[in-house]
Structure 1
Amino acid sequence: MSAATSEVDSIRAASRVLVRELGFMQPTLAATSYSASAVHALLEIDAHEDMTSARLVQLLGLEKSSVSRMLAKLIAAGELDEESDGSDARVKRLRLTEQGRKTVEHIHAFGQSQVKSAFEHLNRSQQQAVAQGLSAYAGALKAHRLNAVEQRPPSPVTVSVGYRPGMVGRIAEMHAAFYSEHWGFGQFFESQVATGVAEFAGRLDEACNRAWLAMLNGRIVGSLAIDGQDLGDNKAHLRWFILDDGCRGSGVGRHLMAEAMAFCDIRGFKEVHLWTFKGLHAARKLYESFGFELVHEVQGEQWGGSVAEQQFVRVCRPA
């Protein structure tokens, strides 16, 4: 998915500010006497029990000669020790000394203080958005550097079942953001979503109803609900299936669908119904992969604009 020029320019401008504010323009970093590369080397050695100079070259993305000179300085300063590998004398294992461990503790404390001080200027939702966005962007940069876009790391997103504080507002927000951008829906649509989710949340204690929430760093980034009551006749209604932009294409949607369809089969529903709009090709492909079939299509005006509304049905499979 290509990014708009304004988004690219915004990220580049923010990156320049980050470089300055975090101190990367200075000759030393994190209130130490060491360069940024040396500070990162100490942190990586602390984080990995089995570290060698060759592995450090890969992790830092630096030239072998640069890493060798940097390690020599850190060893001379008393921060690191080298230990020979018992099976191969040519391989040297890097270990923090007692002094090195204290230096790393100081670096962590300095970094945590920086983040906490900055977070005082943000509300909780902004803090979660920053954590999610930076994590995703850092992963994308690394994938590009390694030329491994298709080799996705395991998703950090987890799935929570049932009500969570903020669920109603967040589901409404995700729907409003997506459908206003792509379909021009406005306040009426957002209000309808919020009202529906709020009413449904009050019925989640019923065994036939369930909601799944995708979570990233404590923030709701996706949702899907099965309403086992509103259609009657032992038919389930799949509702409020939405993902934050940063989670699309990550497999999170398929995970939510798998959980929901397994629930419907186990509960013994006769059918699962969902209503959506024509043109959501990725979503339709996902629905059809789980056995949904298009059964009805009609032009509708109820959301503030003319759209082709579609009804899909899946026949449940007894568990």
Structure 2
Amino acid sequence: MLEGARRRQILVRRADRPGDLGWMVMAHGELYEQQFGWNADFEALVARIVADYAAKRSSAAEAAWIAEADGERVGCVMLVAGDDQPGVAKLRVLLVTSHARGLGMGTRLVEEALVFARGAGYRSVTLWTTDNLASARRIYQRFGFILTDEKPHRGFGHDLVGQTWTLDLLDGPAE
């Protein structure tokens, strides 16, 4: 069998191993600089999100996942409690590396997070993203997320359009 044609071993697991959280920060910094030219401000934002998770995580209400292909980290996502709204969770730091795209990793990561959110008793899940992340947006839409806010945003060295998406877990598809 040709090397490129061999079946890859895919795994989505909890982000509970040494290096997982650091990898999330590094992978975001590198990938978004390569793909979009985003500066270190983005990596700093991801570092704050990951550090807050590591310092304050409630295992009953928050979790993070790593996707692996052939034993190598290739994706991640977090689900954390909303800042000021009980019953509302936030989907954070979804990423799939370039060489793992097309394997369904993004969908599997979001699915794990939403299953966890439902089990933890959240009523809804929100997320913030930018409009140029079309692949992620398609995943969110597939799960029933609705665009609830959109406004111009200057960040990461670029003029962007920030978007807030929301999924009502009581009414949204359970996919």
TM-score interval (norm. to shorter): 0.7 to 0.9
Q: Which residue of 1 aligns with 2:40?
A: 187
- Who is 2:108 aligned against? 255
**1:202 offset after TM fit, Å?**
2.3
Q: Secondary structure at the match of 2:158?
A: coil
CA distance in 2: counterparts of 1:287 and 1:156, whole angstroms: 25
RMSD between aligned residues: 2.0
| Equivalence map 1:213-232=2 (5 Å) | 213-232=66-85
- Corresponding position: 1:283 with 2:136: yes
Query: Is residue 235 of structure 1 aligned with residue 91 of structure 2?
Result: no
SS in 2 for 1:173: helix
Higher relative contact order (CA 8 A, sep 6+): 2
The answer as to 2:18 corresponding to 1:160 is no
Deviation at 1:158, TM superposition (A): 0.8
Q: Deviations over 1:91-144 (max 9, x none)?
A: xxxxxxxxxxxxxxxxxxxxxxxxxxxxxxxxxxxxxxxxxxxxxxx542x37x
Contact 2:107–2:139 (CA<8 Å) still a contact in 1?
Answer: yes
Considering fraction of residues, name the structure with more strand: 2
**Per-residue deviation, 1:178:** 2.2
Larger helix share, 1 or 2: 1
* 8 Å CA contact retained: 1:209, 1:229: no
Question: CA–CA distance in 2 between the matches of 1:298 and 1:310?
Answer: 7
Contact 2:79 2:90 in 1 (8 A): yes
**Structure 1: which 5+ runs fail to align?**
1-58, 60-137, 144-152
Q: 2-side partners of 1:208 and 1:219: how far apart?
A: 27
Look up the match of 2:169: 316
Aligned residues: 172
Secondary structure of 1:301's counterpart equals strand
Alignment match, 1:305: 158
CA gap of 1:180–1:207, structure 2 versus 1, over 3 A, is same
Paired residue secondary structure (2:147): strand
The residue type paired with residue 170 of structure 1 is W
Asked which structure has the greater CA Rg, the reply is: 1
Shift of 1:229: 4.3
Aligned equivalents of 1:162, 1:204: Cα separation in 2? 12
The share of aligned pairs that are identical, in percent, is 30
Task: List gaps (5 residues or longer) in structure 2.
Answer: none
What is the CA-CA distance between 1:219 and the residue it aligns to? 3.0
Cα distance in 2 for partners of 1:211, 1:187 equals 23
User: How far is the alpha carbon of 1:252 from its aligned partner?
Assistant: 1.3
1:157 CA displacement: 1.9
TM superposition shift of 1:168 = 2.4
Quick one: distance in 2 between partners of 1:237 and 1:212? 14
Q: 1:202 to 1:314 in 2, by over 3 A?
A: same
CA separation of 1:269/1:305 partners in 2, compared to 1, >3 Å: closer, same or farther?
same
Instruction: Tell me if the contact between 1:188 and 1:303 (Cα under 8 Å) persists in the aligned partners.
Output: yes
